[in-house]
Amino acid sequence: MEETPARLAGKPSWLLSQLAVHAHRLASEAFGEEGARGYHYRVLAALDEFGAASQADLGRRCNMDRSDVVAAVNELSEQGFVDRAPDPRDRRRNTVTLTELGKTRLCRLDRALDGAQAALLGPLGERDREELTRLLGALLAHHQRG
């Protein structure tokens, strides 16, 4: 196995980008074992936490392109995990609602993602995991502001 130059291995940007590859792979594999994708999880989680929403709102909340939201909602609707209906206040817009079956699905996907998180953070103790999550959240919030 080739070694990474120390000046590169000591850079947080390098470490984050390399770790992101592993994080994405682990999450994708976990969702794949459940016959799902990350976009499905994002949409279901947003609907569970915030309630019914337009597809545009889902895109903003989930940081997804509109076409990806439409594809994910179509797939989730076909499987009975969400209901989609015209918004009574604006018939040009659809409102998406989480179904009971969708809540069950979300719980299964939560467990799958928890397994991926455990694999990703395996060498860290609980306090270090919490601290890493806090620090990453602070960095993300900083860069999202501007």
Return the DSSP state at 4: P
Mean predicted lDDT score pLDDT of the chain: 94
Beta bridge partner(s), residue 82: 98
**2 pLDDT higher than 90:** no
Of 46, 7, 31, 23, whose CA–CA distance to 120 is shortest?
23
**87 pLDDT higher than 90:** no
Burial of 62 (0-12, 13-18, 19+ CB in 10 A): buried
User: What's the mean pLDDT in 59-69?
Assistant: 94
Instruction: Say what the pLDDT of residue 115 is.
Output: 97
Digit-coded pLDDT (tens) for 120-137: 999 999 999 999 999 999
CB 69 within 8 A of CB 55: yes
- 3-state SS, residue 54: strand
The token duo for 29 is 């594999």
What's the alpha-carbon Rg for the chain, to the nearest Å? Answer: 18
User: What's the mean pLDDT in 104-112?
Assistant: 98
Position 85 confidence tier, pLDDT thresholds 50, 70, 90: very high
The token duo for 37 is 């994708």
Q: Which domains does the chain have, with CATH numbers?
A: 35-121 (1.10.10.10)
